[in-house]
Amino acid sequence: MQTNTTILNEKRIAGLDTLRILAFLAIFFFHSAPGLIYGYGRVDFFFVLSAFLLTLLTLNELHNTDSFSKINFFWRRALRIFPLYFLVLLALLVILPSVASYLNISISLPENKWMYWLFLANYEHSDTLFALKLLWSVSVQEQFYLLFLFIAFAFKRHLWTFVGLITTIYIVFMLWAESQNMSTYGHTITHFANYAAGIAGAYLYYHKQYSLRLTGLIFITSGISLFFETPVIIYHVQLSVCFITLILLFTKWAPRVEHNPIFKISENLGKYTYGLYIFSGITITIGQKFLSEWNQIIVVLAELALTFILAYLSYHLYEKQFLKLKQYFRKQRNLTSQ
């Protein structure tokens, strides 16, 4: 089996941060200015990308060390996700209620706050601040990380078995949910299609087992199919296929424009995406609460600007201090997942 030796020496994959920032903007405008841009399902892109990158890291680690460290995996993920996530929970669930009470401002908080602390927010459906509602996807990610933690060691020989397994679980769950007339988008299993596509795409990328022409055809076909009404069970598959083929195509094309000034900016902004996503819920909530009478365009631009400022400050003054510790939980420092 031919191995993509170039990936073993890369620190980053060109193009992925640009895709990150574009996906974030689609999500942001979907939430801040409904009707201006279609953003439903764009969070799925991050699920696909997450599985893609984690699988590459795992294949890389298995290739270099012939083993997979669960402890290292856990701490690398924890250092990226936990500091900002728990800081925001502390601010919104502990400090904000006291401040709101002092200022006599009414706010809605979840009935089961403990579910946020345990990364179960995607199953907490009580009425609450939008800033908290947006954290559901972080819970989905953490639940997938837990599953990934226990199966990634087998990817060297059984990767496709796992892809088939989670795909089967996805199909069975979605069929059952449809029979129960149940809402599914917040359930982790609903996004198994995203994760299966990301894992499969990473394997093809790593081993150079994909044709650009065929990948382009699949991307166009799956993209067009999204404009037609299909059952939800099919839609998530279409979306996942569209996103993973986009990733494969864009990472091939990106090196050709790596010296373009705009591309350099988008690549640099990509590292702030996690903070941008987390803080966007807060800034949009502020806009909804205090700026509802303003011109919508001005409000959206103000929310976006504040989101970027908060994400930038958070990354450089706070998150970066924890990210520096990741070097102690990496057997080889070749490819970062951010």
Percent of the chain surpassing pLDDT 90:
72
The structure tokens 């299966």 sit at 196
Predicted confidence (pLDDT) at residue 8 exceeds the cutoff of 50 = no
Model pLDDT for residues 278-314, shown as the tens digit of each residue: 999 999 999 988 887 788 889 999 999 999 999 999 9
Predicted confidence (pLDDT) at residue 40 exceeds the cutoff of 90 = no
What is the C-alpha to C-alpha distance for residues 77 and 144, in angstroms, rounded to an integer?
11
At 319, the amino acid letter reads E
In three-state form (DSSP H/G/I as H, E/B as E, the rest C), the secondary structure along 168-201 is HHHHHHHHHHHHCCCCCCCCCHHHHHHHHHHHHH
Q: How far is CA 338 from CA 204, 246, 271, 275, 315, in A?
A: 21, 19, 7, 12, 12
pLDDT of residue 293: 78
Contact of 24 with 269, CB cutoff 8 Å:
no
Q: What burial class does residue 141 get, using C-beta atoms within 10 Å of its C-beta: 0-12 exposed, 13-18 middle, 19+ buried?
A: buried
The pLDDT confidence band at residue 331, using thresholds 50, 70 and 90, is: low
Percent of the chain surpassing pLDDT 70:
92
Joined together, the tokens standing for residue 67 give: 């083993």
pLDDT of residue 5: 43
The pLDDT confidence band at residue 140, using thresholds 50, 70 and 90, is: very high
pTM: 0.91
Contact of 69 with 337, CB cutoff 8 Å:
no
pLDDT of residue 106: 84
What is the C-alpha to C-alpha distance for residues 219 and 224, in angstroms, rounded to an integer?
9
Span 79-84, average pLDDT: 96
Model pLDDT for residues 171-215, shown as the tens digit of each residue: 999 999 999 998 888 899 999 999 999 999 999 999 999 999 999
Contacts of 17 (CB under 8 A, 6+ apart): 266, 267, 268, 269, 270, 271, 273, 338
Cα 191 from chain centre: 11
Q: Please, where are the H alpha helices in 104-253?
A: 114-117, 130-133, 136-151, 155-179, 192-206, 212-225, 232-253
pLDDT of residue 271: 93
**Cα Rg for the chain, rounded, in angstroms?**
20
